[in-house]
Amino acid sequence: MECFHHNRRLLHTESWPPPPMARSVLQVMGADINSHTFNENPDGPPAVPAAKTPSWLCSPSGQQQLKNILLIAEAARIGAIQAVSHTIKACASALRKQGFINYFGLQQFGSGSVPTHLIGASLLRGEWKSIVSMFRDPREGENNVITEAREYYKDVNGTLRKLPRHLVSERAILQCLKKCPGNYLQALKVIPKALRMMEYQRGMWVVE
């Protein structure tokens, strides 16, 4: 892998001294934070940057920007390669012996009242009508206008008039059902493929 062949040093050429978080990143990446000549190569002529681009760092107080970041590729030391190799072998051994908890972060469950992994599970079971109902049935915590529209959904035309424009998936499903009543599988296909794939993946990998 690339990290085995190159040691990337993060160098910074303005706004010195850097903020605390930037100092930590620069130290980890190998930059000399105490020097103002960090864009020069002490062993020879000035270094030629491999990349020069702004970079954003996240911190509790917000985002901080580092400008004119120079990435210089250097040959990795044999000792460093051996250390990385040892770490990888130890991790692989622990994984082989102990396994891991098959759990994704809370973001994988979605922020709506209908958890996305339940939609994924229904996709795997081929329960098309059930999935459509999850999209259009009333949900906890929604405002009265949306709740009223969802309760009205059996009248497709009436629901489309009431349903807010920002509910794109719900409106697309209803438009399809208006053209092809009862064809729930076709209705689900109008949802962007990327979203459908995400639901499949969550249904496959998240353990209930």
pLDDT tens by residue, 50-73: 333 344 444 444 445 556 666 666
Examine residue 81 and state whether it is found in any structural domain, yes or no.
Answer: no
In-domain check, residue 177: yes
List pLDDT tens digits, range 90-143: 888 888 888 876 655 555 555 555 666 677 778 778 888 888 777 766 666 666
Give the separation between CA 58 and CA 169, rounded to whole angstroms: 32
Mean pLDDT of 168-184: 83
User: Which residue range(s) make up the domain with 44?
Assistant: 2-75
Has residue 52 been placed in a domain? yes
133 and 177 part of one domain: yes
What's residue 129's pLDDT?
84
If asked whether residues 67 and 15 sit together in one domain, one would say yes
